[in-house]
Amino acid sequence: MSTEIERKINRLALLQPSGVVLQSSWLVKEGYSHDLQQRYKKSKWLKPIGTGAFIRMGEQVTYEGAIYALQQQTGSFIHPGGRTALSLLGKAHYLELATKRIILFGSTKDNLPAWFKQYEWDYHIDYHETSFLPPDLGLMEIETKNFSIKISGAVRAMLECLYLAPQNQELIECFELMEGLNNLPPKQVQTLLENCNSIKVNRLFLYMAEKAGHSWFNYLNLDHIKLGSGKRSIVSNGVYIDKYKITVPPELKQHGRNI
């Protein structure tokens, strides 16, 4: 292998941390042509993990390394959210990762690549494309191994849980998660609620926050939050909550404060 090719492969170590996916499209932008990528593959410098994606030979890759690649190499907003984010933040009642299920959210303009979908991660990937929140709002960075990735902050993660309810997330579990969020910044909550375009999510969030008795709830301005009009039947055969015009499971009404 020529000195120039060796120099370029060594440069990759400076461009990206170890343990992350190297996307073919990003490599091309950095000056590594498809032909050069194939030469690296034949020389066992790069190992393909699917169409358009490599890892450096000898390295192990986790889903975090794949998320890093999507966020840093292609500017994707795909991120761990919902219960997974709350678990990573230490705000879940159990270790979400132990369930072998990772919840990811992305905007409707994002695309989860085929290599990501087809690779055999240690976890089941549960991916949701949605535009109910602005894609860049309410995210935060966390350190994982030797790099950082963006995940949902606590407020956004809670809204994402409610977005999935009741079909893909039990409402009782949502309330249990809400009960643990007693230190949320009111301004951050207000901003996210004002920018949330799901009436169901906003009503459920406010109902559960008030029911949990959180002090930050008293600082919210409900007049600036989209609550819509008319009733919303969240579940069938439920109990109607007149203040928020929603129908919830009877067992949920029995938890926390009586609204």
- DSSP string spanning 116-168? HHHS--SSEEEEEE--SS-TTTTEEEEEETTEEEEEE-HHHHHHHHHHHTTTT
What residue ranges do the domains of the chain occupy?
Answer: 3-56, 63-253
As a whole-number percent, the residues of the chain with pLDDT over 90 amount to 83
- Triad 193, 198, 203: Cα angle to 5°: 65
Contact 113, 63 (CB under 8 A): no
Is residue 98 scored above 60 in pLDDT?
Answer: no
> In this predicted structure, what is the pLDDT of residue 253?
87
pLDDT recorded at residue 8? 76
Does residue 229 have a pLDDT over 80?
yes
225 pLDDT higher than 90? yes
What pLDDT, on the 0 to 100 scale, is given for residue 3? 65
Averaged confidence pLDDT in the chain: 93
Supply the pTM of this predicted model.
0.93
Count CB neighbours of 205 within 10 A: 27
| Residue 4: per-residue pLDDT | 67
> Which of 210, 165, 167, 168 has its CA nearest to residue 189?
210
Q: Which H/E stretch holds residue 40?
A: helix 34-42
Would you state the pLDDT for residue 165? 96
Predicted confidence (pLDDT) at residue 95 exceeds the cutoff of 60: no
